[in-house]
Amino acid sequence: MNIVVCIKQVPDTTEVRMNKETNTIIREGQKSIINPFDTYAIEESIRIREKLGGKVTAISMGIPSVEDLLKQAIALGVDEGVLLSDKAFAGADSLATAYTLSKGIMKNGKFDLIICGKQATDGDTAQVGPGLAEKLGIPHTTCVRKIEEIREGYIRCQRMNEDGYEIIEMPLPAVITVVKEINEPRLSSIKGIMRANKAKISVWNAEDINATKSLCGLSGSPTQVVDTFVPELNIKAEMIEGDSDQQAKKLVDKLLSMQLPVFK
């Protein structure tokens, strides 16, 4: 079974720097990690290959330094890595990212299953997985917490929802996005790290994957960020003294003095 796992580089910090001209995240010079949700996607893809055989390809879109993250995925057990890197891809929203990934995956060849993390920690949109499926014209399921059965041309999995989970059956090829409940990601082995050091990452630009540049990056992104700012933290705390009855009375008096609207 040929599995593609999509991974993304995200900042390993809470102090994200923004480009004020494009309102996009500055990734150059930032310490970065594999998006935490994607580590569960990597683990699940490796477990499926260990059970059914085949190959796992990790693919990512980003700047040249993302090669290091793809090698980290190989150290964990992924077979090969592909980086989609081109200035034309910069500033992409979820739609343009899904388009670019779909072109890269099609160039990579036949696949049975694509696994993505539920969402990225820097954007939190959770749109790339479903968008990728739409671009490829294949079914998808989000928030998968367990794969109950998978074989050639068929998958049955548990999808988390507000009430628990539901059973989803789909034909393959398909896309799934996974949540952290699905597994416990493994650590890199010494053998894996040695293999990753020798690995050659394939780097493809827009021409290599036959992508239309007007559909990539900022030019292909209907989402336009008007402004970005750091929220002001101006929280004042006040301790209310006394026993519980006194504290309750003082709290009520305080709320009434604020003349807040009352809804009945």
Torsion, Cα of 117, 104, 51, 179 (10° steps): 10
Average pLDDT, the chain: 91
How far is the first Cα of the chain from the last one, in angstroms, to the nearest whole number? Answer: 59
At 155 the pLDDT is: 97
For the chain, give me the number of helices (H) and strands (E)?
Answer: 6, 13
Segment 13-34 mean pLDDT: 71
SS3 17: coil
pLDDT at 180 exceeding the cut of 80? yes
* 114 vs 82: CA distance, rounded Å: 14
Taking only the tens place, the pLDDT of each residue in 35-88 is 999 999 999 999 999 999 999 999 999 999 999 999 999 999 999 999 999 999
CA dist 35 to 11, 24, 69, 253, Å? 8, 17, 10, 47
- Of the candidates 242, 67, 41, which has an alpha carbon nearest to the alpha carbon of residue 143? 41
Task: Choose the weakest-confidence range: 69-78, 94-103, 154-163, 230-239.
Answer: 230-239
pLDDT at 238 exceeding the cut of 70? yes
